């Protein structure tokens, strides 16, 4: 059982090292692209949407690095170890004899993992609230636009009818004379 746990921790460690290497390489390539462009670009006029999309894009932040190097592996380790203890506890009575040590380890890993999960859910809730507010504003803008468009169309038709009435009245008066 201990060999299995050691093997599992080694695999998780290798996966975390691989993920960390990928993140460091991505950060390095991003920094290199920003500070050392490949060639001098000819100045061209940019469309407004292009400059807005570049301004809105973010680079890799410290929080991104923190989440991928510490938070994600911690949560995965916590969930994996808890599942491992439950699985082996159902099949092996020796695990049940030492369950206090296992639950202590799960609790130690679980405290920070639960805080990270809670913060991630709070961020998700905030993003959903922002999306909802955006769609409410967008829907109201569409309603206002449709209302204004309808009023404008009614005004155009009204003015057109008045003009036609004036023309008819003018032709009727000229025929009477």
pLDDT tens, residue by residue, 1-33: 778 877 887 788 788 777 777 877 777 777 667
pLDDT band (50, 70, 90) for residue 161 = very high
pLDDT in the model for residue 120: 80
For residue 25, is it within any domain?
A: yes
Cβ-proximal residues to 8 (8 Å cutoff; 6+ apart), any chain: 80, 84
For residue 148, is it within any domain?
A: yes
Q: For the chain, give the mean pLDDT.
A: 78
pLDDT in the model for residue 40: 46
More confident: 137 or 117: 137
Q: Work out how many domains the chain is built from and give that number.
A: 1
pLDDT in the model for residue 137: 94
Query: What are the CA-CA distances from residue 80 to residues 20, 76, 110, 119, 144 (Å)?
Result: 19, 6, 11, 20, 52
pLDDT in the model for residue 110: 84
For residue 97, is it within any domain?
A: yes
pLDDT in the model for residue 4: 80
H runs (alpha helix) in the chain? 2-35, 48-56, 62-66, 72-91, 93-97, 99-176
For residue 26, is it within any domain?
A: yes
For residue 47, is it within any domain?
A: no
Q: Is the separation of the CB atoms in 72 and 93 below 8 Å?
A: no
Spatial separation of the C-alpha atoms in residues 85 and 102, rounded to whole Å: 7
165 lies in which domain range?
2-37+56-176
More confident: 139 or 44: 139
For residue 51, is it within any domain?
A: no
Quick: pLDDT tens for 36-90: 655 545 455 555 545 544 544 556 766 667 777 777 788 888 888 888 888 888 7
For residue 133, is it within any domain?
A: yes
For residue 32, is it within any domain?
A: yes
pLDDT at residue 141 tops 90 = yes
């Amino acid at each position: 059982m201990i060999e299995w746990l050691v093997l599992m921790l080694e695999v998780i460690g290798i996966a975390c090292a691989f993920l960390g290497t990928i993140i460091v390489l991505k950060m390095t390539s991003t920094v290199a692209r920003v500070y050392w462009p490949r060639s001098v670009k000819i100045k061209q006029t940019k469309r407004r949407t292009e400059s807005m999309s570049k301004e809105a894009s973010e680079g890799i932040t410290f929080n991104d690095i923190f989440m991928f190097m510490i938070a994600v592996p911690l949560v995965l380790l916590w969930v994996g170890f808890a599942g491992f203890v439950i699985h082996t506890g159902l099949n092996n009575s020796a695990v049940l004899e030492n369950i206090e040590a296992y639950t202590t380890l799960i609790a130690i890993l679980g405290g920070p993992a639960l805080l990270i999960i809670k913060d991630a859910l709070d961020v998700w809730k905030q993003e959903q609230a922002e999306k909802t507010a955006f769609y409410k504003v967008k829907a109201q803008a569409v309603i206002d636009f449709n209302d204004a468009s309808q009023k404008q169309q009614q005004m155009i038709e009204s003015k057109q009818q008045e003009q036609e009435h004036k023309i008819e009245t003018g032709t009727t008066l000229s025929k009477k004379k």
